[in-house]
Amino acid sequence: MQNTISQIQDPLTIAGETFTSRFLLGTGKFKNKKDLADSIESSGSQIVTVALRRIDIETHEDNILQYIPKNIKLMVNTSGARNAKEAIRIAHLAKETTLSNWIKIEVINDSKYLLPDNVETIKATATLAAEGFVVLPYMSPDLYAARELVKAGASAVMPLGSLIGSNQGLKAKEFIRILIDEIDLPVIVDAGIGAPSQAAEAMEMGADAVLANTAVATAQNPALLAKAFRQAVEAGRLGYLSGLPSQKSDAHASSPLTGFLYEK
Amino acid sequence: MTSLNDIRKILDNPDPRLTEQLAQQSAALTRQYFGRTIALYAPVYLSNYCSSHCTYCGFHSKNNIKRARLTPEQTEKEMRTLAQTGIENVLLLTGESYKATPVSYLKEAVVIAKKYFTGISIEVYPMEVQEYRELFEAGVDGVTVYQETYLRERYKEVHLEGKKSDYDYRYGTPERAGQAGVRQISIGILLGLSDDVAQDLHLLYEHLQFMEKNYPGVEYSVSFPRIRTIKGREFALSLVDDAAFIKIICLTRIHFPRVGINLSTRERPEIRDRAIHLGVTKMSAGSSTAVGGYEILEKTQQEPQFDISDHRSLNEIIAMLKTQNFDPVLTDWRPINNK
């Protein structure tokens, strides 16, 4: 019997912790902290990312951390790191500063395209995972790199949909699909997602979650777009769970051409 | 890249519709890549001793001004005062005197600055890779070095003496900083020096493209200071009007969507408050351009490098940004051990 929608229990599990929301929000580029707080609320996100470089621990009145509700999982990213060594140092500082041991590894050594360096990301992941961090690496969607990240102890992989900040959507779709098929960790599509429809597209394909930032932060009404993303991610997920006909790439139930061989 | 000819046509075209079109495109790219944020910083002038003779600069060696160099105690006092205003990103400046302000002196200043600021950049004389490396390891995140003008002939005419008169050595400076591992490099043109802005701009773009290609890990920014009146100026200016200035900012943004564009307090408030909508991502605030200008010297004793046009305090700039729906960014870096 088919489950009714209300019976579906479909949590996202990362490193043993479960989340009902599959939409992660980044906190950069907002015009003010109120927009950010409103967007976090309307996004329904249970995990938000913050760049350590933007956490101003000295200034208490305008410290970004004060706008992130306590019940939300804080994941600090290593934005600014150009190699594994720097990412590791930033992760250590992040833990001292926020007491959170959830780290999004972001190693970028190209200021023009802002593409992540998979090789350095794997190194940083191995070190930090061994130290007990929960590591979610941001990566270019490459199967070999993803496998190495699994071995290195990552808790999820975060392939880019397209160039960060580009709002171009799922340019890397076919490569992300391979990761979804082959990697047993949660696959969170990060970067380049510029519209709710693109987030839905990623979720329908079977991504476990989507992270967005630029699109929301730079919208005329960020909180409204955050809500739209939340609903698009939910809709995409339900679409995936429903077994969309268009998603079936193999294993068709009926065999019109060869079925006769097995007829009794 | 837009050809030199097209840059020239754009700058020469007086049609306001073209300016508006460039501005729209530039504004959209800036919002996309930087969001609604403006980074803030302030300079600390450590010394105005100079052994170069640059005809347009208030600090040049032949100019009869009071020379001063902060002692470590004075540096600390200046920095403490500046940090108390809320500034967290500092730009340390000196004249071009290796003798008066050797690398060891700068290193000492950087060590003091680390106590008060999260981001430290330097705008001093060009150095060797090993010297940049030393300062990077001491805590320098950024190096600012302007070619002033990329037109060789003009460069020669305005840089009469001293190390700065060597065009090629100066041109290679961003590269040496990149080789040393410096995180941020800022380059630029001093508008008003050359009467062929289009060509200057085109050569700057070539320089920036070369740097991006060969040192991709560096965060780049550019600056287009417009010449201001100074004591002892010895030559005619080719002033760049506001419309051309705005077009230069917008063209640069369109060519380099992710590069920071910096605007100093040389510019008037009415320009600064509008330029933030068009492509600028970084500005100085509450600045003094004199050695000891924050704390050490009385106003009457100060010798500024150039006169500033925007006298608003950091808090006033922050309030202006908030009113215009921008997030003022004081901290954009957490210093990590660069060794």
pLDDT digits (tens, 9 = 90+) for B158-191: 888 888 889 999 999 999 999 999 999 999 999 9
| CB-count burial class (<10 Å; 0-12, 13-18, 19+) for A254 | exposed
Q: How confident is the model over A141-157, as pLDDT tens digits?
A: 999 999 999 999 999 99
The predicted pLDDT at position B42 comes to 95
Determine the topology of domain A5-245 in CATH: TIM Barrel (3.20.20)
The pLDDT of residue A58 is 62
Smallest CA–CA distance, residue B258 to chain A, in Å, is: 7
Q: Which of residues 198-217 of A touch B (CB under 8 A)?
A: 214, 217
pLDDT in tens, B26-42: 999 999 899 899 999 99
Report pLDDT for A1. 46
Arithmetic mean of pLDDT over chain B: 90
Instruction: Return the residue in B137, B222, B331 with the most chain A beta carbons within 10 A, the one to mutate for interface testing.
Output: B331
Instruction: Check whether B292 has a pLDDT greater than 90.
Output: no
Confidence of residue B336 (pLDDT cuts 50, 70, 90): confident
pLDDT for the residue numbered B87: 92
CATH topology of domain B4-323: TIM Barrel (3.20.20)
How large is the average pLDDT for residues B289-303? 76
Which candidate, A154, A212, A140, places its Cα nearest to that of A184? Answer: A154
Return the percentage of chain B with pLDDT > 90, whole number: 68
The pLDDT value recorded for residue A258 is 73
Degrees, nearest 5: CA angle A17-A20-A24: 85
Reading the block at residue A224, the tokens are 């409204």
Residues in B closer than 8 angstroms to A169, CB to CB, are none
Reported in sequence order, the residue ranges of chain A that DSSP labels E, i.e. its strands, are: 12-14, 17-19, 23-26, 47-51, 73-77, 102-105, 134-139, 158-159, 188-190, 209-212
Please name the residues between 56 and 95 in chain A that touch chain B, using a CB distance below 8 Å: 56, 58-59, 80, 82, 86, 89-90, 93
Chain A residues inside the 8 Å CB shell of B217: 82, 108-111
Asked whether the predicted pLDDT for residue B12 surpasses 60, the reply is yes
Choose the weakest-confidence range: A67-81, B58-72, B80-94, B97-111.
B58-72
Q: If DSSP codes are grouped into helix, strand and coil, which group holds residue B140?
A: coil
Provide the number of CB pairs (under 8 Å) joining chain A to chain B: 77
Query: Which segment of A176-185, A228-237, B89-98, B294-303 scores lowest on mean pLDDT?
Result: B294-303
Q: Which of A27, A31, A108 has the most B C-beta neighbours within 10 Å, making it the best mutation to test the interface with B?
A: A31
pLDDT at B164: 87
Q: Which residue ranges in chain A fall short of pLDDT 70?
A: 1-8, 57-62, 246-255, 264
ipTM above 0.85, yes or no: no
pLDDT higher for B1 or B37?
A: B37
pLDDT at residue A233, as a whole number: 96
Measured between beta carbons, the chain B residues lying within 8 angstroms of A54 are 329, 331-332
* Amino acid B224: pLDDT: 95
Report CB contact under 8 Å: A111, B212. Answer: yes
